[in-house]
Amino acid sequence: MRLRNLVAFAIAVLVALPLVAQEQTGAIQGVVKDSQGGSVPGATVEVTSSGGRTLTATTDATGTYRFPALPGGTYTVTAKLTGFSPGRVDNVVVTLGKLLTVNVSLKLGAMTETVEVTGEAPLIDVKQSARATSIRDEALNQMPKGRDYTSLVTQAPGVNQETSKFGGISIDGAAPGENVYIVDGAETTNLQSGISGKTVITDFVDEVQVKSSGYAAEFGGATGGVISTVTRSGTNTFRGDLFTYYSGSSLNGDPRPSLRLVPSNSNAAEYVTYAKDKEHTIEPGLTLGGPIKKDKAWFFLGYNPSFNPLDRTVTSRADGLASRRCPSAGLLEITCACADAGPAGRSSSATAESSVATTTPARRTGFTTPAPRAARRPRW
């Protein structure tokens, strides 16, 4: 009985995998022809990425070849056959979900010669009607961005960051909750709010694509747009980065005065300037990628923690309130001293704890002097 359950579970997982994994790659196809325009069957076609990754295919009886699952990047397509000079097409940019047609021409000649094919017009996917914008790793390093990949989406045409009560990203005027978010082929949309439910640091992103219309039925859950993200992968060479991000109060300007009611007189107001909190955020990080087995398996790892210490000292004066001290990122200890105005001249005190910091030290520049008020006897 247990074995039957395990087999049923394994079958369910295998069946569900294609449903979970949305598109994560692009494709290249084409025809290898000779100088007379005839097809060349049996030719060897290689695609080589900028990272050194190489894949090989052979043309069929009609001279057609196809690479159906290529990670995004820039490729070189080379065709070879005995008796012909090799043909090559450079700078073929593959993006997420795109199917590019790259035809290669071979000429009779020695194997030592290479025919390089260059074209002025960019390669266009003529097989699909989806309207999409892709932002790849090369452009990611040159544009302003936040720490999450969703900050890159607004670089695409027709995409805006909504500031309404719902928030989120609007694509071509659609509501933020009508989008679908996909990370490495798995949907990460928040089921309650409809916005992105997964944070991916931009330093670990290889490509972000925004589909606004015309996408396939596999994205039927989207009535707005489809935002797909692919994380970085290793190559045939070892590469890594060391980086850090810093932000803090030392980079901020001086605090501005704030208008508030006088604590001892609710009919008067005053300007106060609260002291600046001493805080800073440090985000060190590293990435490392390389081959496990050349042209077969690769690895990539990244680490980017965030440290945000905060130090705040609170000293507020009001009727009956002596002083407050807020330890760094700890509990707030409040000491209240209430003077007894009675003839006995007694005094009482109480101590409480709270996890929320109150007002900070203030420098008063008020325009109204509060009227003096007699102290009242506290009730305990």
The predicted structure's pLDDT at residue 242 = 93
Residues 49 and 109 in one domain: yes
| CA angle (8, 14, 17) in 5-degree steps | 135
Please write the tens of the pLDDT for every residue from 14-48: 444 444 456 778 889 999 998 888 889 999 999 99
Residues 153 and 107 in one domain: no
Check which CATH number belongs to the domain holding 219 and give it: 2.170.130.10
Taking the C-alpha atoms of residue 49 and residue 47, their distance in angstroms, rounded to an integer, is: 7
Domain-located, residue 3: no
CA distances from 59 to 39, 40, 79, 188, 236 (A): 9, 7, 9, 39, 26
List, for the chain, all residue ranges whose pLDDT scores fall below the cut of 70: 1-22, 110-127, 137, 164-166, 313-380
Taking the C-alpha atoms of residue 355 and residue 347, their distance in angstroms, rounded to an integer, is: 27
Q: What phi-psi label fits residue 7: left (phi over 0), alpha (psi between -120 and 50 degrees) or beta?
A: alpha
The predicted structure's pLDDT at residue 51 = 78
The predicted structure's pLDDT at residue 57 = 92
pTM greater than 0.75: no
How many separate domains does the chain show? 3
Please write the tens of the pLDDT for every residue from 39-79: 899 999 999 988 788 889 999 999 999 998 888 888 999 99
How far is CA 176 from its chain centroid?
A: 17
Domain-located, residue 341: yes
Residues 141 and 76 in one domain: no
Is residue 21 within 8 Å of 14, Cβ to Cβ? Answer: no
The predicted structure's pLDDT at residue 108 = 81
Q: Enter the tokens of residue 117.
A: 């094919």
Q: 340, 348, 347: which is closest to 375 by C-alpha?
A: 340
Question: Sign of dihedral through CA atoms 145, 151, 157, 159?
Answer: negative
Query: 59, 87, 117 — which closes off a domain?
Result: 117
Domain-located, residue 376: no
139 phi, psi to nearest 5 deg: -75, -25
Domain-located, residue 126: no
Domain-located, residue 122: no
Domain-located, residue 333: yes
Domain-located, residue 290: yes
The predicted structure's pLDDT at residue 344 = 41
Please write the tens of the pLDDT for every residue from 318-347: 544 444 444 443 333 434 333 334 444 333
The predicted structure's pLDDT at residue 77 = 92
The predicted structure's pLDDT at residue 317 = 54
Question: How many residues are there in the chain?
Answer: 380
Check which CATH number belongs to the domain holding 104 and give it: 2.60.40.1120
The predicted structure's pLDDT at residue 266 = 87
The predicted structure's pLDDT at residue 301 = 93
Strand, coil or helix: 127 = coil
Domain that holds residue 157: 131-231
Strand, coil or helix: 32 = strand
| CA angle (278, 279, 282) in 5-degree steps | 150
How far is CA 338 from its chain centroid?
A: 53
Domain-located, residue 359: yes
Rg (CA), the chain: 32
Please name the residue ranges forming H helices in the chain.
2-20, 137-140
